[in-house]
Amino acid sequence: MRYETVIGLEVHVELATSSKIFCSCSAHSYGAEPNSHVCPACCGMPGMLPVVNKRVVDYGMKAGMMLGCHINRTTTFDKKSYYYPDLPAAYQTTQWFAPVAVNGVVEIETSKGKKNVRIKQIHMEEDAGKLVHDIREDTTHVDFNRTSVPLIEIVSQPDLSSAEEVEAYLERLKTLLRYAKVAECEMAHGTMRCDVNLSVRPEGSNKLGVRAEMKNMNSIEAIKRAIEYETARHIDAIENGTEELRQETRRWDDIKGKSYAMRTKETAGDYRYFPDPNVMPVVIDDEWFDSIKASLPEFPEVKKERYISEYGLGEYDADQLTKSIALCECFEAAYGVCKSAKDAANWMISEVMSILNQKKMTYDMLDLDGKALGELILLVSGGTVGRANAKKILAAMFDDASIEPKAYAEANGYVVSNDTGMIEAVIKAVIAADPKSVADYKSGKEKALMALFGKCMKELKGNCDPQTLRKLLIDSIS
């Protein structure tokens, strides 16, 4: 019998606001000293009251709009109670009754073509802290830096059916949320986390199988492995009766490559949701709604079409550039300065993106001043700096954002010389030192000219217009 896997995802994304959701502590504590970004409110001490960070609602709405959701104009915050040492108030403030966004849709593309994934809802909530186990002392410490950092949880409908689709969906979420600049979505940093709800049923059946919820996957690769493992486990159980499937929460162990049922105690329980009386319902009026709507970025597909129709770029180039908003912004700024979309695209794709690849950086990590890149392109197209030297300047710009291409070229002797006397002197010396190549060229070996050309260019440290050099070289030999 053939089976199909039915998958729904719960994706937690940390919003990139500067402060936490209900207090004014900084929300950015990645790598910071434990408990250095805390106050009485986010430590669960009595007496401080939650005041909603409006930015969080802005970002929540924006995320909802990017994912095609309906925005609830009155959205409320609710308390979810449970005991765990990393949850200092013993309740998490979340959205249970009226989440900020509902009923969205995200289009994904895989090897099987395009597909819509429905979004059930997006709700805003606060993150919990972290427990740090000290094996030497056999104690556990609590770090509250992350408590009350704003999150959105994006809940999909069970519309996904393979690891490939899950990967495409997660990449799509990441692209859209990064385009809107509301989140980093980096699984390695914990700014994107994903729980997978999975069940298996005979192909064509409309009855859902027994569902397992899998937690603790820390990379897209781990998610794919977990989905494949879990699917096989379910099919094995159905076909061979190896075990009785139960609705349960399972923990993925990426090292062992297996999932384990969590103790029911860790998962069971009644969260006793109720509306937080200290947080008034947030009413989103037309003015607020419209201002967020107006701040939405161009969608990747729209941008790509515009790059093709307006800038005259080819399909491939436009596709490459719109992979990440960081690439788009750098490209557009460079184009604004150099006024040649083709040049700007060439430099982005063949130089900038390859440097990122070499450095094993994601495209989103690009932090290059597009205007400076535009100036560098102008230096090359205007004949002031040779292409090889321009690449060196670009490499330097990656390491030092303060570099101005022109000043840097001058300071480092990368400026093309127009002194033909000096060029001719170099040619003369090169010819004298390599009579064999001269003879070869004269006997019709074109390649020999390139050798001589290279030697001259090397002597000139690249600071010569190639056309000029070639002409002078041929003139000298003949």
Partner 1 sequence: MKTYTEDKKLTVVADDMMLTKDMPTTAGSKMLDGYMSLFDSEALARLKDAGYTVAAKAAVGEFAIDLLGETNFKGAPASDGHIKNQAAEMILSGDASAAVCLDVNGAVRRAAAQSGLVSVKPTYGTVSRFGTIPAACSGETVSVLACDAEDCGRILDLIAGHDDKDGTSLPAELIAKTNEAATVRKVAVLASMKKGIGADVCEKLDAAVAVLKANGVEVDEIDDSVISASRPAWNALMSAELCNNVSRYDGVKYGYRAESFTNIDELYTNSRTEAFGELLKTAIIFGSETLSTENYMKIYDKCLRVRRVISEAFGKLFETYDAVLMPATSSMSYTEAEVKENKFIAFEENYYTAPASITGLPAIVAGGVQLVGRAFSEKALLEAAKKYEKEGK
In the complex, the residues that contact partner 1 under the rule CB under 8 A are 40, 43-52, 79, 81, 83, 85, 88-91, 142, 270, 272-274, 277-280
By the rule CB under 5 A, 198 interacts with Zn ion: no
Q: From the CB of 356, what's the least distance to partner 1, in Å?
A: 44
Q: From the CB of 81, what's the least distance to partner 1, in Å?
A: 6
Beta carbon nearer to Zn ion, 13 or 89 = 89
Contacts with 146 (C-beta within 8 Å, 6 or more apart), sequence order: 29, 127, 128, 129, 130
The entry of partner 1, Zn ion, none near residue 279 (CB within 5 to 8 angstroms by kind) is partner 1
Quickly count: other Cβ atoms within 10 Å of residue 455's Cβ.
19
CA distance 150 to 126: 5
By the rule CB under 5 A, 39 interacts with Zn ion: yes
CA distance 53 to 15: 12
By the rule CB under 5 A, 149 interacts with Zn ion: no
**Residue 45: strand, helix, or coil:** coil
Beta carbon nearer to Zn ion, 22 or 252 = 22
By the rule CB under 5 A, 56 interacts with Zn ion: no
Residue carrying the six token digits 């790598």 = 31
Tell which one of 11, 23, 101, 325 touches Zn ion (CB under 5 A).
23
Q: From the CB of 91, what's the least distance to partner 1, in Å?
A: 6
Q: From the CB of 147, what's the least distance to Zn ion, in Å?
A: 8
CA distance 51 to 57: 12
* Interface size with Zn ion, residues (CB under 5 A): 5
Beta carbon nearer to partner 1, 271 or 398 = 271
By the rule CB under 5 A, 128 interacts with Zn ion: no
Beta carbon nearer to partner 1, 47 or 241 = 47
CB 403 within 8 A of CB 433: no
Beta carbon nearer to Zn ion, 24 or 219 = 24
Structure tokens that stand for 132 in this block: 């740090």
CA distance 409 to 392: 10
Beta carbon nearer to partner 1, 129 or 386 = 129
Beta carbon nearer to partner 1, 42 or 427 = 42
The entry of Zn ion, partner 1, none near residue 3 (CB within 5 to 8 angstroms by kind) is none
By the rule CB under 5 A, 89 interacts with Zn ion: no
Pairing assessment for the beta strands 212-217 and 248-253 based on DSSP bridges: parallel
CA distance 217 to 252: 6
Instruction: Select from 25-33, 188-196, 327-335, 402-410 the region that touches Zn ion (CB under 5 A).
Output: 25-33
Residue 188: how many CA atoms within 13 Å on its side-chain side? 3
Instruction: Select from 6-14, 41-49, 322-330, 431-439 the region that touches Zn ion (CB under 5 A).
Output: 41-49
Closest CA to 39 of 51, 28, 29, 48: 48
The entry of partner 1, Zn ion, none near residue 42 (CB within 5 to 8 angstroms by kind) is Zn ion
CB 161 within 8 A of CB 228: no
CA distance 324 to 357: 14
By the rule CB under 5 A, 57 interacts with Zn ion: no
Tell which one of 9, 25, 338, 469 touches Zn ion (CB under 5 A).
25
Q: From the CB of 31, what's the least distance to Zn ion, in Å?
A: 18
The entry of Zn ion, partner 1, none near residue 456 (CB within 5 to 8 angstroms by kind) is none
How remote is the C-alpha of 102 from its chain's centroid? 24
CB 347 within 8 A of CB 334: yes
By the rule CB under 5 A, 48 interacts with Zn ion: no
Closest CA to 369 of 412, 413, 319, 408: 408
Beta carbon nearer to Zn ion, 27 or 344 = 27
The entry of partner 1, Zn ion, none near residue 382 (CB within 5 to 8 angstroms by kind) is none
- Strand runs labelled E in 127-191: 130-134, 139-143, 150-156
Tell which one of 6, 16, 21, 42 touches Zn ion (CB under 5 A).
42
Q: From the CB of 128, what's the least distance to Zn ion, in Å?
A: 14
Encode burial over 356-395: b for 16+ CB neighbours within 10 A, e otherwise.
beeeeebbbebebbbebbbbbbbbbeeebbbeebbbbbbe
Instruction: Select from 21-29, 196-204, 373-381, 456-464 the region that touches Zn ion (CB under 5 A).
Output: 21-29
The entry of partner 1, Zn ion, none near residue 25 (CB within 5 to 8 angstroms by kind) is Zn ion
Site of interaction with Zn ion (CB under 5 A): 23, 25, 39, 41-42
